[in-house]
Chain A
Amino acid sequence: MAIVGTLKTFKGGRYFPRLQGLPRGPLREGPVPPRVHLPLRQGFGEEPDPLVEVGQRVRTGEVLARSDEKISTPVLASLTGTVVRVEEGVHPLDGEPTTVITLEADPEPYRDDWAPLDVPRGNFERWGPEELGRILYEAGVTALGKWGFPTPFRTAPAEPSAIRALLVNAVEAEPYLRGDRALLFEEFEKFVTGLKILKSALGNIEVHVGLGYDLPHVLEELEARMEYHDWLYLHPLLPKYPQGEDEVLIKTILNEEVPAGRPPTDLGVVVCDVQLVVAAYEAVVEARPMVDRVVSIGGSAMAQPVNARVRLGTPVGDLLEQFGNQGPSRVIVGGPLRGSSVTDVDAPITREARALVALEEPRSPSVTTRWGFLPGADSHVRLLPPFGREKRATTALVGGTKPCIRCGDCVDICPQNLFPIELAEAGERGDLERAEELTIFACIECGLCSYICPSKIDLLEGIRKAKRWIREERLED
């Protein structure tokens, strides 16, 4: 156990300290919704085959879909009730087709009838990676994270034996994401034990925890608790967006670069977040399958911004209603820089949904951030108002797009050291060779180039387009 060095950070990025409607207060228990929609495809993986039929009764945590031979994780029932529909629908985040299973909860008075996991007795440290991997797989925990968590059940692009380090992302830097922080405060014991479980599940590896330095109590407590574990390293990090992205976290902590467009497992590294660590504890020690997750519900259009434990598949409309959504708002699943806008109140919360943000517009599009003197804090123009203490970020393209004034702010803010405007222009011209020469696949789509651009050019959209064309071209070859 060692705290490694002093405060670490990375090139570029941006600090978003204060925003209107930031989720705060203790972790709340979300409602058990009358019905849930569970899309079968999750994250990067494939779609498991459904095992249930319409009309069948299911218990909370029961397996709805599972395919051991595909790169996938089982989908579990997130409440006790009846299967009302199994049919083709679209995934709420990317709009691509997937099978959706809809469950209807038992009528009032509702009580959860749990289907517990099959967990052996005794100390988990003696069970071995095989057994722990199975439990994590069956609990649905392995679907978390951008590239999944490797187990012998093909849940990630790599085998567990190829892994040498686990990075835990406990620094939440994206605007409105506060769920991991709430989990760390309230479930600290589970987090500590969860780290040991994940270490056992991956065999002989190092574990690095990247923790926001604005959580000094958690840092001290963790240091005291893990003093005698020489496999654990703690890294205090500046909570600057996008510190939590896999590529940036690896660059900051290990000083290694993930090859452009490849998963971190190519380096033998797995990145996970606090949610996964806590869910691993609950699966292994409490035999509780992962049927809910912590979602940060906030934004300027929310009367009570909170962090809540929400059943997977809960329609966003239920949450908006319960936590006081006001007026017409743009609703985003995930943070406002990386998330997806949803237009249907029935779009469900999925395993990868870290936040639900509702922003008021066009009535009051401003979100204030305060500037300070932290390194990297608010690395931008201090103009409005001239000598005020707050400046604005907006959800709107004020006045529309203008020609590029070649200020180079996008180059400065890019955490991957790319040349965003050149990439976007190459894409616009259809000059895909130039785009590849500039390593377009190193782009992690953090969105900061579009955010910072004074001409309000949607650089990220241009880069995405160019990426798509290049992929299509390769498919044709």
Chain B
Amino acid sequence: MSAPVPTPTASQETRRRRIELLPAGGGGRFAVARAPYLRDGVGVRGYLGAFALALVPAVLGAVALFGLHVLAVIALSYAVGLLMHYGFSRLQRRPRPDEGILLTAMLFALVLPPNPPWALVVLGSVFAFLAREIFGGLGRYPFQPALVGKALLVILFPAAMARFWEPLAGGAGFAQWAPAEPATQTPLTAVLQGQEVPLGTLLGAQPGLLGGAFAGLLLLGGVWLLFTRAVDWRIPLGMVLTAWLGGGLLTMLYPEVLGPSGLVHLLSGGFLLAAFWLAADPVTSPMTPRGKWLFAIAVTLLIVILRGLIPWPEEAIVFAVLMMNALVPWLDRVAAPRPFGSSAGGQGQGGKKG
């Protein structure tokens, strides 16, 4: 780049041949023109892959609880999702498939009741992927798509969405939640009506959402996510603490409406699924640290309150998360970090050397 040398000596000629410098723009996959020339090795694939991978224990738990058809539900959800995704990426001329469908299809299957009618799985999946793809796919959707699919199903087919089958048929000591017929009463509804605290929730001895029944395995996946740091710790931790403490406070004030304790809210009704996956989905949650805290607290309190108010307490996570998703852009605006050096006002913004 410096002044050219008119008459290179012989040694310089050989040097030129031996030392080869790559151009700044690079070729092929390497398109780094200016600093920084270093990139972290983890990409979107690693991130979202970890999110989906952390759900595997919960899926295995669901298979153990409800039977092998769970795998068929998940497979159907993926099949519809892939079809929709490829269709839309062709229509919108997006360059390549995105990795987000790994997560969306899985999450949609897990928020369904344990034995959903096939037609509704297909229909809900179509809704979910519509809510994802019309906005442009990965990174662009404003509402958690799996929950949009679920919410539409709940509104259109409330009865079919409230058929919760019994777990581990006739599990000793938990027979009260294991009716012979498909249960419509989950521990959450039972508890809210003043029954005992189900300690068995950790082990999945309860009916509930397909992926939300086995709280212990969800917790296992969640802890692994926290360890890998694929999930930002603020939202899950903020939600768990708020459910425990804030939920505890609310249930103390209104025990007849909101049930006996915050711990119940934490361990049942798919709350952990919301805390580590649905609410914590980076795309539909705030980016700023303070925004994340506010979001976590608001979602949790909304879940606890909605459970006492709506006819389907099991679906409180769905509507609470969707409602807060709508507020995310506003949260990011009000909770934007204050840059260092900004207190000097307009006076300091002369700019560096032009």
B350:A262 contact, CB within 8 angstroms: yes
Interface size on A, residues (CB 8 A): 110
Determine the chain B residues whose CB is within 8 A of the CB of A441 once the complex forms: 348-352
Q: Which of B16, B21, B29, B48 contacts A329 (CB 8 A)?
A: B21
Interface size on B, residues (CB 8 A): 80
CA distance A422 to B140 in the complex (A): 14
A261 at the interface (CB under 8 A from B): yes
- Which of A47-55, A120-128, A394-402 contacts the other chain? A394-402
Interface string of A423-443 (1 = CB under 8 A from B): 000000000000010110110
B46:A384 contact, CB within 8 angstroms: yes
A405:B340 contact, CB within 8 angstroms: no
A455:B35 contact, CB within 8 angstroms: no
Assuming the A-B contacts A257-B341, A467-B351, are A345 and B287 also in contact, with contact meaning beta carbons closer than 8 angstroms in the complex?
no
Determine the chain B residues whose CB is within 8 A of the CB of A341 once the complex forms: 24, 32, 34-35, 37
B98:A456 contact, CB within 8 angstroms: no
CA distance A458 to B137 in the complex (A): 20
Determine the chain A residues whose CB is within 8 A of the CB of B36 once the complex forms: 336-338, 447-448, 450-451, 460
Determine the chain B residues whose CB is within 8 A of the CB of A342 once the complex forms: 1, 21
Look across to chain A and name the residue whose beta carbon is closest to the beta carbon of B350.
A261
CA distance A315 to B11 in the complex (A): 13
B305 to chain A, nearest CB (A): 27
B3:A405 contact, CB within 8 angstroms: no
A439:B342 contact, CB within 8 angstroms: yes
Interface string of B229-271 (1 = CB under 8 A from A): 1101000000000000000000000000000000000000000
B156 at the interface (CB under 8 A from A): no
A417:B349 contact, CB within 8 angstroms: no
CA distance A464 to B31 in the complex (A): 17
Determine the chain A residues whose CB is within 8 A of the CB of B37 once the complex forms: 330, 332, 336-337, 339, 341, 359, 395
- Which of B57-65, B119-127, B146-154, B331-339 contacts the other chain? B331-339
A261:B40 contact, CB within 8 angstroms: no
CA distance A402 to B12 in the complex (A): 43
A337:B43 contact, CB within 8 angstroms: no
Interface string of A372-392 (1 = CB under 8 A from B): 000000011111100000011
CA distance A445 to B337 in the complex (A): 18
Determine the chain B residues whose CB is within 8 A of the CB of A261 once the complex forms: 341, 348-352
B47:A405 contact, CB within 8 angstroms: yes
Determine the chain B residues whose CB is within 8 A of the CB of A456 once the complex forms: 39, 43
CA distance A65 to B227 in the complex (A): 58
Q: Which of B16, B32, B48 contacts A345 (CB 8 A)?
A: B16
Assuming the A-B contacts A402-B138, A442-B340, A460-B36, are A421 and B287 also in contact, with contact meaning beta carbons closer than 8 angstroms in the complex?
yes
A450:B1 contact, CB within 8 angstroms: no
B283 to chain A, nearest CB (A): 5
Assuming the A-B contacts A337-B37, A346-B2, A441-B348, are A362 and B28 also in contact, with contact meaning beta carbons closer than 8 angstroms in the complex?
yes
CA distance A4 to B21 in the complex (A): 46
B189 at the interface (CB under 8 A from A): no
Q: Which of B9, B21, B289, B344 contacts A412 (CB 8 A)?
A: B289
Determine the chain A residues whose CB is within 8 A of the CB of B341 once the complex forms: 247, 257-261, 416, 439, 442
Interface string of A260-290 (1 = CB under 8 A from B): 1110001000000000000000000000000
B42:A343 contact, CB within 8 angstroms: no
CA distance A405 to B292 in the complex (A): 15
Q: Which of A321, A406, A414 contacts B19 (CB 8 A)?
A: A321
CA distance A330 to B21 in the complex (A): 6
Determine the chain B residues whose CB is within 8 A of the CB of A393 once the complex forms: 38-41
Look across to chain B and name the residue whose beta carbon is closest to the beta carbon of A423.
B339
A405:B283 contact, CB within 8 angstroms: yes
Q: Which of B4, B16, B26, B340 contacts A417 (CB 8 A)?
A: B340
B41:A384 contact, CB within 8 angstroms: yes
Assuming the A-B contacts A89-B3, A321-B18, A471-B354, are A395 and B38 also in contact, with contact meaning beta carbons closer than 8 angstroms in the complex?
yes
Look across to chain A and name the residue whose beta carbon is closest to the beta carbon of B41.
A392
Determine the chain B residues whose CB is within 8 A of the CB of A381 once the complex forms: 42, 46-47, 50, 228-230
A198 at the interface (CB under 8 A from B): no
CA distance A477 to B322 in the complex (A): 46
A343:B24 contact, CB within 8 angstroms: yes
Determine the chain A residues whose CB is within 8 A of the CB of B228 once the complex forms: 381-383
Most interface-central of A34, A261, A453 (chain B CB within 10 A): A261
Assuming the A-B contacts A397-B31, A402-B139, are A380 and B42 also in contact, with contact meaning beta carbons closer than 8 angstroms in the complex?
yes
A396:B139 contact, CB within 8 angstroms: no
Determine the chain B residues whose CB is within 8 A of the CB of A266 once the complex forms: 348
B159 at the interface (CB under 8 A from A): no
A419 at the interface (CB under 8 A from B): yes
A260:B348 contact, CB within 8 angstroms: yes
Q: Which of A90, A359, A362, A445 contacts B2 (CB 8 A)?
A: A90
B204 at the interface (CB under 8 A from A): no
B193 at the interface (CB under 8 A from A): no
Which residues, 114 to 146 on A, are CB-close (under 8 Å) to B?
Answer: none
Interface string of A344-355 (1 = CB under 8 A from B): 111110000000
Most interface-central of B12, B22, B41, B140 (chain A CB within 10 A): B41
Determine the chain B residues whose CB is within 8 A of the CB of A407 once the complex forms: 47, 232, 282, 287
Determine the chain B residues whose CB is within 8 A of the CB of A422 once the complex forms: 287, 332, 336
A75 at the interface (CB under 8 A from B): no
A44 at the interface (CB under 8 A from B): yes
Determine the chain A residues whose CB is within 8 A of the CB of B343 once the complex forms: 257
Q: Which of B26, B41, B49, B288 contacts A411 (CB 8 A)?
A: B288
B32:A259 contact, CB within 8 angstroms: no
Most interface-central of B21, B98, B340 (chain A CB within 10 A): B340
Determine the chain A residues whose CB is within 8 A of the CB of B35 once the complex forms: 332, 334, 336-341, 445, 447, 460
A345:B15 contact, CB within 8 angstroms: yes
B44 at the interface (CB under 8 A from A): yes
B21:A345 contact, CB within 8 angstroms: yes
Look across to chain B and name the residue whose beta carbon is closest to the beta carbon of A408.
B287
A416:B50 contact, CB within 8 angstroms: no
Q: Which of A344, A400, A419 contacts B337 (CB 8 A)?
A: A419
B44:A37 contact, CB within 8 angstroms: no
What are 24 A-to-B residue pairs whose CB atoms are below 8 Å? A251-B340, A257-B343, A259-B347, A260-B341, A260-B342, A261-B341, A261-B352, A321-B15, A328-B20, A337-B38, A339-B37, A340-B35, A381-B47, A383-B50, A383-B228, A393-B40, A395-B32, A402-B98, A402-B138, A408-B287, A416-B340, A419-B336, A442-B339, A471-B354
A-B residue pairs, 9 tightest by C-beta: A259-B348, A392-B41, A447-B36, A403-B139, A259-B344, A408-B287, A89-B3, A439-B342, A439-B339
**Chain B contacts to A: CB under 8 angstroms:** 1-5, 9, 11-12, 15-16, 18-24, 26, 28-50, 98, 100, 136-140, 227-230, 232, 282-289, 292, 332, 336-344, 347-354
